[in-house]
Amino acid sequence: GTVVVATKNAGKVREFALAFGKLGMNVVSMFDYPELPDVVEDGATFAENARKKAKTVAEALKLPVLADDSGLAVAKLNGEPGIYSARYSGAGANDASNNAKLLAELAKLAGFESGKQEPLPDGSKLLSDARFVCALALYDPQTESFIESEGYVAGQIIDRTRGVNGFGYDPLFWLPAFGRTMAELTPEEKHAISHRGQALEALLQQLT
Ligand code: ITT
Ligand code: NA
């Protein structure tokens, strides 16, 4: 079968295609429906935004639709950028400008640090605890009902980008258990531990 995912994020599309491909399903995204307008993400939470994206697109297509709202919460930034992760660096934001903004915000705090953090072997330093959050919502317009889930992964923000896999903040997201950033994991490794992988597993549990 086919799963419609209400996203215009190519990184998310790749990850859902990998996951659903293993289940023998293929994924279509908003790249396949260019005529549909963008959904305004004005919710106060990841879950609210995911529900709005899923319901809006599902009602337009008259098909069940899955949506993902996700982001990065950085402890030393009081949980920012959070639900504003995609637009952290302002108008025209992209992954590179958002990563630069994150390092700039953490650099502002560096003067207050005691310097107790030992550098890693390559000289890099870990700047803050952080976690990725993913809220999924599947809306069925026929039954007018949602199935929802959330997933999380804990890590730390490293002071320089490492790795080329994944997308978004992955090159700055250090996983102590791997000794690598999320962008240094293979797609399979990322899916096995990521916020999105966890959320998808929880969603599938509810469907079976
Ligand atoms: P859609 O709303 O069209 O799905 P989007 O990119 O605007 O695409 P979000 O509003 O959910 O999606 O914003 C999520 C942002 O959080 C995304 O742009 C990334 O910067 C970041 N993010 C989410 N998941 C991530 C992941 O697995 N790895 C790295 N960064 C991630
Ligand atoms: Na969002």
In sequence order, the β-bridge partners of residue 190 are none
Specify the residue with its C-alpha closest to ligand 1, atom 16: 71
Question: Which residue segments constitute the domains of the chain, with CATH numbers given?
Answer: 2-207 (3.90.950.10)
Average pLDDT estimate for 111-134: 82
Q: Is 69 a catalytic residue?
A: yes
Distance 40 CA to ligand 1 centre (A): 15
- The token pair at 48 is 């609210």
pTM of the model: 0.96
What pLDDT shows up at residue 115? 54
Tokens 């919710």 identify what position? 43
What pLDDT shows up at residue 113? 61
Task: For ligand 1, pick from 85, 131, 162, 196 the residue to mutate: most ligand atoms within 8 Å of CB.
Answer: 85
Distance 174 CA to ligand 1 centre (A): 17
Q: How confident is the model at residue 111 (pLDDT cuts 50, 70, 90)?
A: low
Site residues for ligand 1, CB cut-off 6 Å: 7-9, 12, 41, 68-72, 85-86, 98, 132, 166-170, 194, 196
Min mean pLDDT across 12-21, 102-111, 143-152, 198-207 is at 102-111
Average pLDDT estimate for 37-55: 97
Q: Identify whether the C-beta of residue 165 lies closer than 8 Å to the C-beta of residue 186.
A: yes
Compute the mean pLDDT over every residue in the chain, rounded to the nearest whole number: 96
Check 38, 68, 69, 129 and give the catalytic one.
69
What pLDDT shows up at residue 120? 83
Specify the residue with its C-alpha closest to ligand 1, atom 19: 168
What pLDDT shows up at residue 91? 95
Distance 71 CA to ligand 2 centre (A): 7
Cα–Cα dist 158/173, whole Å: 6
Average pLDDT estimate for 23-46: 97
pLDDT surpasses 90 at 121? no
**Model ipTM over 0.90:** yes
What pLDDT shows up at residue 42? 97
Specify the residue with its C-alpha closest to ligand 1, atom 20: 168
Amino acid at 189: E
What would the 3-class secondary structure string for the chain be?
A: CEEEECCCCHHHHHHHHHHHHCCCCEEECHHHCCCCCCCCCCCCCHHHHHHHHHHHHHHHHCCCEEEEEEEEEEHHHCCCEHHHHHHCCCCCCCHHHHHHHHHHHHHHHHCCCCCCCCCCCCCCCEEEEEEEEEEEEEEECCCCEEEEEEEEEEEEEECCCCCCCCCCCHHHEEECCCCEEHHHCCHHHHHHHCHHHHHHHHHHHHHC
| Long-range contacts at 146-150 (CB < 8 A, ≥ 24 apart) | 146/51, 146/54, 146/55, 147/203, 147/206, 147/207, 148/47, 148/50, 148/51, 148/203, 149/199, 149/200, 149/202, 149/203, 149/206, 150/46, 150/47, 150/199, 150/202
Identify the nearest ligand to the CA of 182 by its number. Answer: 1
Q: How confident is the model at residue 96 (pLDDT cuts 50, 70, 90)?
A: very high
CA 70, 75, 79 angle in degrees (round to 5)? Answer: 45
Q: How confident is the model at residue 157 (pLDDT cuts 50, 70, 90)?
A: very high
What pLDDT shows up at residue 119? 79
| Predicted confidence (pLDDT) per residue in 127-148, tens digit | 999 999 999 999 999 999 999 9
